[in-house]
Amino acid sequence: MTEAITADGIRKRYGDVQAVDGVSLSVAVGEFYGLLGPNGAGKTTTLEILEGIREADEGRVELLGMSPWPRNAKLLPRIGVQFQASAFFNKLTARETIRTFASFYGIGPKAADTMLERVGLTESAGVLTDKMSGGQAQRLSIACALVHDPELVFLDEPTTGLDPQARRNLWDLLRDINAEGRTVVLTTHYLDEAEILCDRVSVMDHGKVLKTGAPATLVREIDDTVRIRVESGMLTADRARDLLTTAGATFSNLEDDGTTLALSTHAPGPVLSMLAEENALRGLEVRGATLEDVFLQLTGREYRA
């Protein structure tokens, strides 16, 4: 398979902080790839090094067979980049903004307007960008990244701060972009998003890639884990600890945040019967492993965005 991106042992240090600590990855052409991890995991810095905005202290990056650093004018028209913060010009409307970005690539206003329609912003075309809602700004930002028809698209947390409906709408758009044959690289701290969208994800923490694979494969590796939740306060702390002993499997974990008592276990049967005995089944929720459990297993910490 042709590789759209290969990165080998990239490192980046800011003062005392090792933001990226030896990341290697490869993304195939046409793949939807996710970089997953909590804030501060090093996703954005990794992405910026891939895009060619930052120079890595160490390591080698190739995009579409070319090095993104130093600035490579041949590569630039073939990649599209969307930033975390909306990088728009002052005092311009949505239409003026996308037409301006289009002009940088020699693309005319008609094609720019088509792109605006594509992301559903035709009706808000005359709105100043600083007056747009979060969802509209994100869609415009993505439209600006796509206006020159790039082969490789980088999206940095595109759904952060959006309401659930806007997120879902954006997911549809992102799936379409990928279905057209573009390679998409996305960073997110939403596990559900990565699970739904990505062909493959790399789970990052503390500047390192912990694990890479298809979300389903990663989940399957721990799929004998079952996650059980009940309302908290129905068991004393001692009883809860007994519960964990009863669960007694190779991997189990108990957390109580004051509203929910949650545990992951390889032996759901004994745990559930024990909870039933204690009459502590209120709010019961049982489900198979998700990426959250993968993260939990990899880092030993509950996933918190």
Partner 1 sequence: MTATDQARTSPAADGGTEKANAFVGLSRVMLLGFVRDKGTLFFTLALPLMFLVLFGVLYKGGGTSHVKVAEVGQVKLLDQLKDQKDGPLSVLEITTFSDEESALTKVKKGELDGLVTEGPDGKLVLRFSQADQVKAGTVQGIMNSLVQTANQMASHATPAFTLDSTKVEDDSTKPIQYLTPGLLAYAVSMGAVYGASFTLVTWRKKRVLRRLRLAPISAGTIVGARVLVSVIVALAQTALFLAVAQLDYFGLKLTGNWWLVIPLVVCATLAFMSIGLVTGSLAKSEESANGINQLIILPMSFLGGAFIPLDFAPSWLQDVSRALPLRYLITPAKSVLSQGGGIADALPAMGILLGFTVVLSAVAWRFFNWDDA
Chain residues in the site for partner 1 (CB under 8 A) = 2, 29-30, 51-53, 71, 73, 76-77, 79, 81, 83, 85-92, 96, 99-111, 114-115, 118, 144, 146-149, 151, 180-182
Instruction: Tell me the sheet residues that pair with 205.
Output: 208
Distance CA 48, CA 195 (A): 23
Beta carbon of residue 249, minimum distance to partner 1 (angstroms, whole number): 44
Beta carbon of residue 132, minimum distance to partner 1 (angstroms, whole number): 14
Nearer to partner 1, 146 or 201 (CB): 146
Beta carbon of residue 108, minimum distance to partner 1 (angstroms, whole number): 3
End-to-end CA distance of the chain: 33
Nearer to partner 1, 83 or 303 (CB): 83
**Which residues lie below 8 Å from residue 84, measured CB to CB, with a gap of 6+?**
44, 156, 157, 160
Beta carbon of residue 182, minimum distance to partner 1 (angstroms, whole number): 7
Beta carbon of residue 96, minimum distance to partner 1 (angstroms, whole number): 7
Distance CA 96, CA 290 (A): 43
Nearer to partner 1, 91 or 304 (CB): 91
Nearer to partner 1, 145 or 247 (CB): 145
- CA distances to 219, 265, 290, 297 from 271, rounded to whole Å, are 21, 8, 19, 19
Nearer to partner 1, 68 or 268 (CB): 68
Nearer to partner 1, 104 or 284 (CB): 104
What H or E segment, with its residue span, contains residue 272?
Answer: helix 268-277
Nearer to partner 1, 54 or 227 (CB): 54
Q: Do 88 and 97 form a contact (C-beta atoms < 8 A)?
A: yes
How is residue 52 annotated by DSSP? T
Maximum CA extent, the chain: 71
Beta carbon of residue 86, minimum distance to partner 1 (angstroms, whole number): 8
Beta carbon of residue 177, minimum distance to partner 1 (angstroms, whole number): 9
How is residue 76 annotated by DSSP? G
Beta carbon of residue 169, minimum distance to partner 1 (angstroms, whole number): 19
How is residue 117 annotated by DSSP? H
Q: Is 131 helix (H, G, I), strand (E, B) or coil?
A: helix
**Which residues lie below 8 Å from residue 259, measured CB to CB, with a gap of 6+?**
231, 232
**Which residues lie below 8 Å from residue 26, measured CB to CB, with a gap of 6+?**
3, 5, 6, 7
Nearer to partner 1, 108 or 233 (CB): 108
Query: Buried b / exposed e across 149-174, counting CB within 10 Å, b at 16+?
Result: ebbbbbbbbbbbebeeebbebbbebb
At 199, list the tokens. 């062909």
